[in-house]
Structure 1
Amino acid sequence: MREVDQAVAFLRTRLPAAPELALVLGSGLGGLADQMEDTVIIPYREVPGFPLSTAPGHAGRFVAGRLGGKNVLCMQGRFHYYEGHDMAAIALPVRVFKALGCRALVLTNAAGGVNWDFNVGDFMLITDHINFMGANPLRGENDDTIGPRFCDMTHVYDPGLQQVALQAAAAQNLVLRKGVYLGYMGPSFETPAEIRAFRTLGADAVGMSTVPEAIAASHCGLPVLGLSLITNMAAGMAGKRLSGDEVIEIANARGVVFQQLVKGIVAAL
């Protein structure tokens, strides 16, 4: 795929070392890049074929360096379907990670709690997802050099990586809940009726990202670890209106703890 080849060729001229792991830093996790050593910053606008990130709180750049003893390439800010990007643009960075030789992808996000047992500030290990975005990044002509026309989705979120995450959380005395993430197109928040329906479908958390990236990773054979920070209880659950500012506020408040968890996971991978 021409877009992947061009981006990879450019990044190889800028990266300090071949990355072992790739991280997509969602809301509240952007500060993790500040803990990296020997960093090189590459704005998305400089990478051939890359769109710009317009989501609030997303820096819109790659940060490459050392974290937890590993060579890591971070996306400090991601692309969302609700921003107007097509699914191919959202899948592009994932395919670039694979082509650069990354052996695992850590996807993080801020999410709304759907499970009544969850609380604001909880961390959730994504064990599976439901694609409710109405689109799929694999739609269209398939590139057989990247992955099969019909890719298996049985173990999108790698069981081995999940065990590493659970052990890292236990070592930090953190409760890491497990659950199903439902991807919703956005940018409007869900209605209370939709949340009731999503709970019936088996969702534990809901958000507007992660699913397209996870599908693209499964397609190209890149193992995925998914982590959510529950920044609010979903519509109709807390008896109040939802606000994007509140999501960012909670993400920032719990961000330091979330960052330490991810750092511990990276060190153990």
Structure 2
Amino acid sequence: MLEKIKETANFIKNIINEIPDFAIVLGSGLGQLKNEVEPIHVLKYADIPNFPQTTVVGHGGELIFGTLEGKKVLMMSGRFHYYEGHPIQTVVFPFRVFHLLGIKNLIVSNACGGVNPNFKVADVMIINDHINMMPEHPLRGKNLDELGPRFVDMSEPYNKKMIEVAKNVALDLGIKVHEGCYVALQGPTFETPAEYGMIKAIGGDAVGMSTVPEVIVAKHQGMDCFGISIITDVGGPDIAYTVSHEEVLEAANKAMPNVIKIVKGLVKNYNG
């Protein structure tokens, strides 16, 4: 695995010839953000050695290197999910590569279900903590000592300074944002009313099927992480709304302009 990570990193490094300031991951329906980047190199996943392929509607399949708000960024248009059948090490493979490229800052985005009663569809939530309820852990097995320690401090999974910068950007722009805890489940089913109730009972504000394994691996490597979610549906033990992937993408599109503004402001104003 380590040799594959190195091979992929070297392939990308030889093309971009720079260390990006940020890696940015686009979640379901969040692909419009890539249009904000002034591209320098666009690499299709299929052309990158050892890179997995995405299979989900709303996820592209490109790695975009370019400029955003005067900073160099490497953007994943489309991510990989455990529910697609990928081994967990495949899901987090790109984040291992990011580390070997020298990237220190990670921005992850997702579409997720809200369980906090104050949330509404198309609201934006800045992630300030998470609970991992996936059946597999991305650090299980032999530790890759070159990349990080056996046991990882997770006392600050989402960088407080990045959160503060993003909140100030939202405040200045008059964008309403929530803060909350994101719970990761395997998927691919949307949650039952009882499962929504369980998420709320254990302290979750939102629930989704990604992000957490990526952040765990990034923290293993000493990266600073920022997470932002679009609430695409709301649920609870007494709510039985129907949910479809099309509705998730529709809600994501509605909230997209605000997410773009917040991410652009964070990239512009955060200097580590």
Cα 1:102–1:93 change in 2 (3 A) is same
Partner residue, 1:123: 124
Separation in 2, partners of 1:230, 1:217: 24
Partner residue, 1:219: 220
User: Deviation of residue 200 (structure 1)?
Assistant: 0.5
Cα 1:222–1:83 change in 2 (3 A) is same
User: Deviation of residue 236 (structure 1)?
Assistant: 5.3
| 3-state SS of paired residue (2:92) | helix
User: Deviation of residue 52 (structure 1)?
Assistant: 0.2
Separation in 2, partners of 1:169, 1:138: 34
Separation in 2, partners of 1:170, 1:99: 35
1:197-236 Cα distance to aligned partner (Å, 9 max, x none):
1101000000000010011011111110011010111365
Q: What is the TM-score of this pair, normalised by structure 2?
A: 0.95
The equivalences for 1:83-232 within 5 A come to 83-232=84-233
Separation in 1, partners of 2:266, 2:166: 6
Partners of 2:175 and 2:258 within 8 A in 1: no
| 3-state SS of paired residue (1:257) | helix
Separation in 1, partners of 2:88, 2:235: 25
Long gaps (5+) in structure 2: none
Cα 1:235–1:56 change in 2 (3 A) is farther
1:15-68 Cα distance to aligned partner (Å, 9 max, x none):
263211100011232111111114321011111111101111111110110001
The equivalences for 1:46-65 within 5 A come to 46-65=47-66
Partners of 1:235 and 1:242 within 8 A in 2: no
RMSD (Å), alpha carbons:
1.3
Q: 1:19 corresponds to which letter in structure 2?
A: P
User: Deviation of residue 167 (structure 1)?
Assistant: 1.0
Separation in 1, partners of 2:263, 2:202: 29
The equivalences for 1:225-244 within 5 A come to 225-234=226-235, 238-244=239-245
User: Deviation of residue 14 (structure 1)?
Assistant: 1.9
Cα 1:238–1:261 change in 2 (3 A) is farther
Cα 1:170–1:16 change in 2 (3 A) is farther
Partners of 1:54 and 1:83 within 8 A in 2: yes
Q: What is the TM-score of this pair, normalised by structure 1?
A: 0.96
Separation in 1, partners of 2:241, 2:201: 22
Separation in 2, partners of 1:27, 1:252: 10
The equivalences for 1:37-48 within 5 A come to 37-48=38-49
Higher mean C-alpha deviation, range 188-197 or range 36-45: 36-45
Separation in 2, partners of 1:237, 1:80: 29
Long gaps (5+) in structure 1: none
Q: Equivalent pairs: percent with the same residue?
A: 42
| 3-state SS of paired residue (1:24) | strand
Cα 1:32–1:39 change in 2 (3 A) is farther
Separation in 1, partners of 2:269, 2:45: 29
Separation in 2, partners of 1:168, 1:85: 36
Separation in 2, partners of 1:52, 1:231: 25
1:105-126 Cα distance to aligned partner (Å, 9 max, x none):
0010001001011111111111
